[in-house]
Chains A and B, each alone.
Chain A
Amino acid sequence: MSWINLLKINIKKEIVMMKRYLPNTIAMLLTMYFLFLAMFAGIQIIGDPSSQDVHTQFVIVNYIFWSLSLIVVQDIGWQITTEAAQGTLEQLSMSPMGVWKIMLMRLIATVLANIIIIIVLLYLSMLTTGQWLNIDVITLVPIFVLTLISMFGLGYIIAGISIVLKQIQSFLQILQFVLAGLVFIPLTVAPFLAFFPIVKGVDLVRGIMIDGLSWHSINIIDYSILIFNAAFYFILGLFFFLYCERVAMKKGLLAHY
């Protein structure tokens, strides 16, 4: 029950902040949309006309996932550095729930609160380009959730680094490009990337949304890789975070910025 209370209060905080700073929320959505328009214009101007439709569909899916991964992975890093500077990180660290649970609930809350923005962005992108993707919710949801779990693992790694180092703004900026690489590079170009976080999930989502794959036409090996990646990166991220938390408690870094 305490887990649910923790989740509920973190969702509430996310929504309160989004509503309270509505102009900021709208500006974020518009920035994401304008960036997408720039990509779309690029395809229209310099792309091969014979494959423009497919490229546009690729860009929509990739861009939506990239935006989501930025929100999830980067946001947790920003949150930690901000909380350390504010002085609230110590208060969270004193919760009998454990910081890792609070961070997990925050990650989930961030996704749930931002999913509306992502959906709006998706439909705006489809509307602008006239490319309507296959939205097979039943097939998409489990793959999306498993991909998110590996994303959470990355989030924990970023949170762990932030707890110890604090000033990671430049690192977070580099991370944007790393995430773009993971999302935009197709598996056909670099098959080994299937074992990297997010990549397999995005590949399958592209298959569903662009090629119309359904849950039964997806290979069991693909599902297995997806499940393995989700479990591996989540556990890796969690252990890394717990290790960093311990280092911070040994060195007295929880309150320092």
Chain B
Amino acid sequence: MEEIIEVKNLSKTYKKRKSKETITAVNDISFTVNKGEIVGLLGPNGAGKSTTIKLICGLLIPDSGSVMVNGISMKEKRLSALSHISAVLEGNRNLYWRLTVRENLEYFSGNRGRSSKDVASEIEDLLDAFNLKEKETELVNRLSRGMQQKLAIAVSLLADSKVILLDEPTLGIDVQTGYEIRKILRDVVRDYDRTIIISSHDMGVIQELCDRTVIINNGKVVTDDKVENLLRLFEVRAYTITLGNALSNQQIQLLHQKFPHLDYSHHSLESTLTVNLTKAEEFYDLFEVLKLEHTPVESIDRQLINFEEVFLKIVNGRLHNELDQSS
């Protein structure tokens, strides 16, 4: 696939105003984004996601490294590179609140040098596609947050850029609008032939929309893989075993020796074991311990891990363990 964004060895540090302490926001980050992809940029607060997005948008100058947009260097030909990129960085804050919906669309496209005649039909299409037609003469400060967010995305589409960067597109909006925005973003890739990079805390958005996820922690790329691969990596080894009887103390002790991360819970009606197995053969070890007291096994369920759990495991440094064990 054709690369449209290439981020290479990007680093950025800041100095704190008062203490003059140097903070490394982004540390030697490299990744690529292909044409037509939706890539998720994930990471905990302060991981360096927004800094990475702003470096890609040319709003920040890196200390070292480079960003290429459609083959154009952001460092050497910033304005040319910017013609291929648009962004929604702070959602509703990226709009003129004292202008109407239509005026915002016209103003931002005009500021990119586009003529109002050229964009007239595009504006009509976007107003229809984003269900904003009825609100076109409404001032932005009178719109709901969800509508403002939709308008900000429409503005970024009107920029006629190949790549759209979205920083937290569903932050602070209701479930229904969140669903609507996810649908819009899928349609954008399909109908408008765009590439999207999304930075979000909303795992649902990432899991549902993204082809690939780049996870950043402490300013470094922790992983860069397809969402389903990451899910599979963690999913296959997590099991919940329901037992007919309670385990003896000796059994619990033996199990903890063999499986340090094992969780055991006993209630009046049932006992459950939750265990992460590194190899399939470890089942035999587990059953041997159960066999000591002839503990009946009522069911074995493979745990369905969600992407949020995968994300937490990755940022907590469990990825390397999993990769080592799987190899």
Asked whether any CB of chain A lies closer than 8 Å to the CB of B80, the reply is yes
Asked whether any CB of chain B lies closer than 8 Å to the CB of A43, the reply is no
> In the docked arrangement, what's the CA distance between A5 and B14, Å?
37
Complex: chain A residue closest to B15, CB-CB: A251
Which one of A9, A88, A246 lies within 8 Å of B95 (CB-CB)?
Answer: A88
For residue A129, give the distance in angstroms from its CB to the closest CB of chain B. Answer: 37
Contact indicator B99/A97 (Cβ below 8 Å)? no
Q: How many interface residues does chain A have, given as a range?
A: 20 to 34
Contact indicator B116/A9 (Cβ below 8 Å)? yes
Complex: chain B residue closest to A5, CB-CB: B115
Contact indicator A90/B89 (Cβ below 8 Å)? yes
Asked whether any CB of chain A lies closer than 8 Å to the CB of B320, the reply is no
The interface centre, meaning the residue of A10, A97, A98 with most chain B CB atoms within 10 A of its CB, is A97
Contact indicator B82/A96 (Cβ below 8 Å)? yes
Asked whether any CB of chain B lies closer than 8 Å to the CB of A221, the reply is no
CB proximity to A under 8 Å, residues B21-63: 51, 54, 57-61
CB proximity to B under 8 Å, residues A221-252: 246, 249-252
Contact indicator A94/B57 (Cβ below 8 Å)? yes
Contact indicator B57/A249 (Cβ below 8 Å)? no
Contact indicator B85/A94 (Cβ below 8 Å)? yes
Stretch from A13-21, A34-42, A68-76 at the B interface: A13-21
Asked whether any CB of chain A lies closer than 8 Å to the CB of B114, the reply is yes
For residue B88, give the distance in angstroms from its CB to the closest CB of chain A. Answer: 9
CB proximity to A under 8 Å, residues B56-106: 57-61, 79-80, 82-83, 85-87, 89-90, 93-99, 103, 106
Which one of B93, B98, B112 lies within 8 Å of A95 (CB-CB)?
Answer: B112
Which one of B95, B111, B116, B155 lies within 8 Å of A97 (CB-CB)?
Answer: B111
Contact indicator A91/B94 (Cβ below 8 Å)? yes
Which one of A5, A254, A255 lies within 8 Å of B116 (CB-CB)?
Answer: A5
> In the docked arrangement, what's the CA distance between A128 and B291, Å?
108
Residues from chain A with a CB closer than 8 A to the CB of B85 are: 94
Contact indicator B94/A90 (Cβ below 8 Å)? yes
Q: Contacts A88-B95, A92-B111, A95-B82 given; indicate if A9 touches B54 (C-beta within 8 A).
A: no
Asked whether any CB of chain B lies closer than 8 Å to the CB of A185, the reply is no
Q: Contacts A94-B58, A96-B82 given; indicate if A251 touches B116 (C-beta within 8 A).
A: no
Residues from chain A with a CB closer than 8 A to the CB of B82 are: 94-96
For the complex, count residues of B whose C-beta is within 8 A of A: 37
Complex: chain B residue closest to A13, CB-CB: B107
The interface centre, meaning the residue of B57, B59, B93 with most chain A CB atoms within 10 A of its CB, is B59
For residue B153, give the distance in angstroms from its CB to the closest CB of chain A. Answer: 13
Residues from chain B with a CB closer than 8 A to the CB of A87 are: 89-90, 93-94
For residue B304, give the distance in angstroms from its CB to the closest CB of chain A. Answer: 39
Residues from chain B with a CB closer than 8 A to the CB of A98 are: 79
Q: Contacts A88-B94, A249-B60, A249-B61 given; indicate if A5 touches B83 (C-beta within 8 A).
A: no
Asked whether any CB of chain A lies closer than 8 Å to the CB of B110, the reply is yes
The interface centre, meaning the residue of A16, A250, A252 with most chain B CB atoms within 10 A of its CB, is A252
Asked whether any CB of chain B lies closer than 8 Å to the CB of A102, the reply is yes
CB-CB contacts of B153-166 with A at 8 A, as 1s and 0s? 00100000000000
Which one of A12, A97, A252 lies within 8 Å of B112 (CB-CB)?
Answer: A97
Asked whether any CB of chain A lies closer than 8 Å to the CB of B264, the reply is no
> In the docked arrangement, what's the CA distance between A16 and B112, Å?
19
Asked whether any CB of chain A lies closer than 8 Å to the CB of B113, the reply is yes
Asked whether any CB of chain A lies closer than 8 Å to the CB of B108, the reply is yes
Residues from chain B with a CB closer than 8 A to the CB of A249 are: 58-61
Q: 19 interchain pairs (CB within 8 A)?
A: A6-B110, A6-B111, A87-B89, A87-B94, A88-B94, A90-B57, A90-B90, A91-B89, A91-B108, A93-B59, A94-B82, A96-B83, A96-B113, A97-B112, A246-B61, A249-B60, A249-B61, A250-B61, A251-B14
4 closest pairs, A vs B, by CB? A9-B110, A2-B113, A87-B93, A96-B83
